[in-house]
């Protein structure tokens, strides 16, 4: 091992003395971590040196924001905690947009950032490299909590506590920072042999479940909105049982996509932005909202005006009644729906009342509503878009996980993508560009550790792809089995469409862009350019290959017409 002088970070002499960095690595391994994402930095060298003596697999990204997206994708794909190592100052700050997505979506992550030496802390302007007045304050908007560790002996407990907090609902990223000298100084703390982190219990209150059952037992037209919290709480089985007991139509938000079987006779799928679906939800006499704030997209851009009562279930108390009054139940979605399912069964709620939507069965309401959406789409000259998305869906294996950037294809995917046995992941939480490819890298790396099929699909536009184009080097270096579909329309397509619709012309939306095929090949990554009608065959061939590859489609896609303006 190389030891460092805490003041200069200059190599001094070889030694076998353990240090704070070893405690970080040992604790993470004891908690079950397998993989770490990040980029080395001067103050963080103690972390990376210690990894060389441990068993953690390190994936080095090229930009810290992409490291955060990769740790996010790893967690979503595996259900495990994503781990991120950051250096001080610019490195830590560059990760924040990626952490905002994880925070908004409730993705459990442990973030370990280095800090300047202890004697530089306290907002004194000592002129140290990377110095910030209060680094952890910068992370306060995008993480559940922030900790500064000032003594090596506190490292194991702090990381154990952070891990517990990250996996406790509402889940999310937790920030730890450790000064350079604490990472490097010799320690007397013995090696970490075990660490225990169990999620805090977050059950619903009994009287609230009782009240919800009372409402639902007399409801003629119950309906359900399944948000992202449904998936994070692993509540799919209970959701299906409740929907079938109540004969309640179910619609999934973009974050909840996949929480309910797409082809089920009660499934309104994910057409949450369509007015026909808004009409159904407004007509429900009791609406169950799970793991959603009824925010901008879910409320069809705040045009949603429910006439019935709302039961809102969410692990985050700030979400409850944030947009609509209702019976707020603060609880983990999995625990809440399991309790509600059991209580409904015990009360015989399925037999308590006839489920009828003004003389029409719930199943027919679903069928008719989906038919209306289909007819609306077919009336809008969207044949190319419908075929393009259908071709991608047909090419993607049923169990393949997909990662979608903020691009027109993804906006279509929010509504039309049947996740089947795979999982649909997108950046809808915070809505930042650049998520798709690095998250897919993290997802594929994570799936490899679980022994599951690890090939994944990333979908980006040409604008969003440039945020993460450097990660082609990461994918090549680690031979990650990710296929990247880049839909190149020469600009920020959705912004172009918004501006033309609002102002009659688009300004500052057009982009000079590279030859993506040649650029990918310069990284040693195979790539091909195909016409839109060839995308399915190109993806199928790419899925059969080894390591990373790129498919580029040059085409202009349109969005379906908004219905909230009607």
pLDDT at 117: 87
- What are the DSSP E strand ranges found in 233-293? 250-252, 286-290
Q: Which residues pair with 404 in a beta bridge?
A: 426, 459
CB 515 within 8 A of CB 554: no
Q: How far is CA 12 from the centre of its chain?
A: 43
3-state secondary structure 144-159: CCEEECCCHHHHHHHH
Comparison of pLDDT for 21 and 131, the residue scoring more: 21
pLDDT value at 486 more than 80:
yes
Give the model's confidence band at 7: pLDDT under 50 very low, under 70 low, under 90 confident, else very high.
very low
CB 355 within 8 A of CB 221: yes
Please name the helix (run of DSSP H) or strand (run of DSSP E) that holds residue 491, with its range, or none.
Answer: none
Q: What is the pLDDT of residues 309-321, one digit of tens each?
A: 999 999 999 999 9
Q: What is the pLDDT of residues 505-553, one digit of tens each?
A: 999 999 898 999 999 999 999 999 999 999 999 999 999 999 999 999 9
Q: At 299, give phi and psi (nearest 5°).
A: -90, 15
- Name which of 8-22, 275-289, 425-439 the model is least confident about: 8-22
Task: Report the SS3 class of residue 35.
Answer: strand
Give the model's confidence band at 11: pLDDT under 50 very low, under 70 low, under 90 confident, else very high.
very low
pLDDT value at 379 more than 90:
yes
Cβ neighbours of residue 551 under 8 Å, at least 6 residues apart? 483, 484, 485, 486, 527, 528, 530, 535, 538, 539, 542
Give the residue among 358, 299, 276, 352 at the shortest CA–CA distance from 566.
276
Please name the helix (run of DSSP H) or strand (run of DSSP E) that holds residue 310, with its range, or none.
Answer: strand 309-314
| Interval 148-164 mean pLDDT | 96
Give the model's confidence band at 453: pLDDT under 50 very low, under 70 low, under 90 confident, else very high.
confident
Please name the helix (run of DSSP H) or strand (run of DSSP E) that holds residue 439, with its range, or none.
Answer: helix 436-450
Percentage with pLDDT > 70 across the chain: 96
Burial of 200 per CB tally in 10 Å (0-12, 13-18, 19+): exposed
Give the model's confidence band at 160: pLDDT under 50 very low, under 70 low, under 90 confident, else very high.
very high
pLDDT at 4: 40
pLDDT value at 179 more than 60:
yes
Mean pLDDT of all residues belonging to the chain? 93
| Interval 423-427 mean pLDDT | 96
pLDDT value at 175 more than 90:
yes
Q: How far is CA 39 from the centre of its chain?
A: 21
Give the model's confidence band at 565: pLDDT under 50 very low, under 70 low, under 90 confident, else very high.
confident
Q: What is the pLDDT of residues 354-376, one digit of tens each?
A: 889 999 999 999 999 999 999 99
| Interval 485-509 mean pLDDT | 91
| Interval 72-94 mean pLDDT | 97
Question: What is the rounded distance in angstroms from the CA atom of residue 302 to the CA atom of residue 311?
Answer: 18
pLDDT at 563: 82
CB 414 within 8 A of CB 298: no
């Amino acid at each position: 091992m190389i030891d460092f002088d805490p003041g200069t970070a200059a190599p001094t002499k070889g030694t076998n003395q353990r240090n704070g960095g070893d405690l970080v690595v040992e604790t993470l391994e004891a908690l079950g971590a397998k993989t770490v994402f990040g980029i080395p930095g001067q103050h963080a060298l103690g972390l990376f040196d210690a990894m060389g003596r441990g068993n953690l697999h390190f994936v080095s990204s090229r930009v810290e924001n992409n490291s955060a997206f990769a740790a996010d994708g790893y967690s979503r794909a595996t259900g495990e905690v994503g781990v991120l190592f950051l250096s001080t100052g610019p490195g830590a700050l560059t990760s924040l947009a990626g952490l905002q997505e994880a925070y908004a979506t409730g993705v459990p992550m442990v973030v370990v950032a280095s800090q300047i030496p202890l004697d530089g802390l306290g907002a004194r302007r000592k002129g140290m490299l990377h110095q910030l007045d209060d680094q952890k304050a910068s992370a306060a908007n995008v993480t559940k909590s922030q900790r500064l560790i000032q003594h090596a002996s506190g490292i194991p407990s702090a990381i154990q506590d952070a891990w517990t907090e990250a996996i406790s609902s509402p889940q999310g990223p937790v920030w730890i920072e450790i000064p350079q000298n604490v990472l490097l100084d010799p320690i007397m703390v013995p090696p970490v042999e075990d660490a225990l982190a169990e999620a805090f219990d977050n059950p619903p209150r009994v009287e609230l479940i009782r009240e919800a059952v009372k409402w639902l037992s007399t409801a003629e037209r119950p309906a359900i909105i399944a948000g992202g919290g449904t998936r994070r709480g692993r509540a799919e089985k209970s959701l299906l049982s409740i929907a079938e007991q109540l004969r309640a139509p179910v619609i999934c938000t973009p974050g909840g996509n996949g929480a309910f079987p797409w082809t089920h006779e009660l499934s309104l799928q994910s057409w949450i932005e369509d007015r026909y679906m808004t009409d159904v939800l407004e007509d429900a006499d009791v609406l169950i909202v799970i793991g959603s704030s009824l925010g901008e997209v879910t409320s069809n851009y705040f045009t949603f005006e429910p006439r019935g009562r709302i039961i809102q279930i969410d692990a985050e108390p700030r979400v409850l009644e944030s947009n609509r009054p209702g019976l707020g139940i603060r609880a983990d979605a999995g625990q809440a729906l399991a309790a509600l399912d059991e209580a409904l069964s015990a009360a015989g709620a399925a037999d308590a009342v006839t489920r009828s939507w003004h003389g029409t069965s719930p199943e027919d309401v679903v069928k008719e509503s989906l038919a209306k959406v289909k007819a609306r789409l077919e009336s809008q000259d969207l044949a190319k878009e419908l075929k393009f998305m259908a071709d991608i869906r047909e090419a993607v294996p049923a169990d393949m996980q997909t990662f979608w950037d903020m691009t027109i294809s993804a906006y279509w995917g929010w509504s039309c993508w049947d996740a089947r046995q795979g999982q649909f992941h997108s950046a809808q939480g915070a809505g930042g560009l650049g998520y798709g490819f690095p998250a897919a890298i993290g997802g594929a790396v994570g799936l490899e550790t679980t022994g599951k099929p690890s090939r994944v699909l990333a979908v980006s536009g040409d604008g969003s792809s440039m945020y993460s184009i450097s990660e082609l080097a990461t994918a090549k270096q680690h031979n990650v089995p990710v296929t990247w579909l880049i839909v190149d329309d020469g600009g920020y397509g959705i912004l172009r469409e918004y501006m033309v619709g609002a102002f009659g012309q688009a300004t500052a939306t057009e982009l000079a862009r590279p030859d993506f095929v040649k650029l990918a090949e310069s990284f040693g990554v195979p790539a091909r350019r195909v016409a839109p009608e060839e995308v399915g065959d190109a993806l199928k061939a790419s899925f059969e290959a080894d390591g990373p590859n790129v498919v580029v489609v040059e085409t202009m896609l349109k969005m379906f017409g908004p219905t909230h303006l009607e």
